[in-house]
Amino acid sequence: MATKVYVNKEVNVNDEGFLTDPSQWSVDIAREIAKEEGILLTPKHLEVINYIRERVLKGETISMRSINKSGIVNVKELYELFPNTPLKLACKIAGVSKPASCV
Amino acid sequence: MEKEEFPLKKVCIICSKGTIESIYPALILANGALMEGIQAKLFFTFFGLDAVTKKFIKKIHTPVVGNPSLRLPGNIPFPTLLGILPGMEALATSMMKSQMEKLDIPTIPEFMEYIVAGGGEIFACKLAMDMFGLKKEDLIDDVKDILTVGEFYALCGGQGTQILFI
């Protein structure tokens, strides 16, 4: 399995750069992944990320709709925070696996 | 010789039917494209216009007559003769909708909102609107414009563009 070093810590990643073990994640690592993607993390980004982690670690599938219903951001704001591939990008920064959702 | 690959950059989706099983695939494909950073343009024509008509957007049904793939829970066949009974279409539609709700699939109005939010564009067919006597004010606000076929094709250019007809 591939590994990557973020803030002096080695983490396991898949070939697309998604962390394969969410427990290795930290906010500092999130900042580094975001930076690679050209994003400067704001408190709003973190709110979304924490929401995603909470849901995914409970074993739920995350979707655009669940984030839209979370009350944190609507879909338009999600596209603004995480451009182009919002759900995938947010999950990547959140240190969880690539979302297996079509919606 | 190595083949050069061109990634998909834009999908232009034509939705021509007004049933759940035509409108949802069109919306899911458009929204799914936007979620992957692929541009999406939707063109609603003929009965597909119901999906963008204020009066009908919340009344989209699944047909229960002449639909051999329709089955009752437990894979029990659903004969067309049953489908002609009053309320059958509403029942099948509500079962379909509750299943989609369980899977967190957005409703049609929600999808329209997501598609516009993601930078997608929704158009209505001019000729079909004339046929059905529809005016711009009859359409939902998410519709960007009313276009002729030629005007829609003009938006479908560029390498890495695909047109899907549903």
Domain that holds residue B15: 10-64+109-165
Locus of tokens 């309320």: B87
Has residue B30 been placed in a domain? yes
In a domain, A52, yes or no: yes
B85 assigned to some structural domain: no
For the record, the structure tokens of B63 come out as 């047909």
B72 belongs to a structural domain: no
Chain A residues with CB under 8 Å of B114 CB are 64, 68, 75
Asked whether residue B71 is assigned to any structural domain, the reply reads: no
| Spatial CB neighbours of B51, under 8 Å, sequence gap ≥ 6 | B15, B18, B23, B26, B27, B44, B57, B60, B108
Does residue A45 form part of some domain? yes
**pLDDT computed for residue A74 by the predictor:** 96
User: pLDDT value at position B71?
Assistant: 87
On the question of pLDDT at B2 being above 80, the answer is no
Residue A79 lies in a domain: yes
Answer positive or negative: Cα dihedral of A5, A10, A16, A22.
negative
Average pLDDT, chain A: 94
Number of domains in chain B: 1
**Average pLDDT of span B55-67:** 92
CATH number of the domain enclosing B161 = 3.40.1260.10
Of A74, A86, A103, the CB nearest to B104: A103
Residue written as tokens 């083949």? B3
Does residue B78 lie within any of the structural domains?
A: no
| A91 included as an active-site residue | no
Average pLDDT of chain B is 94
Host domain of residue A66: 2-93
Q: Report the domain count for chain A.
A: 1
**pLDDT (tens digit per residue) in A63-90:** 999 999 999 999 999 999 999 999 999 9
| Residue among A76, A84, A88 minimizing CB distance to B117 | A76
A16 located within any domain: yes
User: If you count them, how many residues does chain B have?
Assistant: 166
Q: Distance, in angstroms, between B148 CA and closest chain A CA?
A: 29
pLDDT at B1: 66
Tell me whether residue A100 is in a domain. no
